[in-house]
Amino acid sequence: MEHREPPLTAHSTPKRGGDVASQTARAFIGLRELLLRGEFARGERISELSLVARLGMSRTPIRMALERLAHLGLLDVGPTGGFLVREFSVDEVRDAIELRGVLEGTAARLAAERLRTPSELEPLRRCLRALEELQELSIKTFSIYMDRNEAFHRAIVDLAKSDMLRRALAYTNSLPFASPSAMVFPTSMLAESEATLAIAQDQHRRLFEAIENREGSRAEHIGREHARLGRRVFEIALSDDDILSRVPGGPLIHVPD
CATH of residue 73's domain is 1.10.10.10
- Mean pLDDT of the 218-245 span: 88
Whether 35 and 123 share a structural domain: no
Tell whether 47 is covered by a domain: yes
Nearest to 121 by CA among 130, 132, 112, 133: 112
Burial of 49 (0-12, 13-18, 19+ CB in 10 A): exposed
What stretches of the chain adopt beta strand conformation (E)? Answer: 45-46, 75-77, 83-85, 88-89, 253-254
Burial of 59 (0-12, 13-18, 19+ CB in 10 A): middle
pTM recorded for the entire structure: 0.79
Nearest to 50 by CA among 37, 67, 66: 66
Tell whether 11 is covered by a domain: no
Contacts 24+ apart (CB under 8 A), 231-235: 231/94, 231/97, 231/98, 231/101, 233/183, 233/186, 233/187, 233/190, 233/196, 234/93, 234/94, 234/97, 234/177, 234/183, 234/186
Whether 121 and 148 share a structural domain: yes
Burial of 83 (0-12, 13-18, 19+ CB in 10 A): buried
Residue 80 lies in domain: 17-85
Q: Residue 232 pLDDT more than 80? A: yes
Boundary (domain end) residue, out of 35, 69, 85: 85
Tell whether 193 is covered by a domain: yes
Strands 253-254, 88-89: pairing is parallel
User: For the segment 40-95, what is each residue's pLDDT rounded down to a tens digit?
Assistant: 999 999 988 889 988 888 999 999 999 999 998 899 998 888 899 999 999 999 99
Q: Based on the structure, what is the number of domains in the chain?
A: 2
Burial of 7 (0-12, 13-18, 19+ CB in 10 A): exposed
Whether 225 and 247 share a structural domain: yes
Boundary (domain end) residue, out of 69, 85, 101: 85
Whether 34 and 150 share a structural domain: no
- Mean pLDDT of the 102-108 span: 97
User: For the segment 131-160, what is each residue's pLDDT rounded down to a tens digit?
Assistant: 999 877 666 777 888 889 999 999 999 999
Confidence of residue 257 (pLDDT cuts 50, 70, 90): confident
Whether 231 and 176 share a structural domain: yes
**46 three-state secondary structure:** strand
**55 three-state secondary structure:** helix
Tell whether 25 is covered by a domain: yes
Whether 81 and 130 share a structural domain: no
Round to whole Å and give the CA distance between 160 and 227. 17
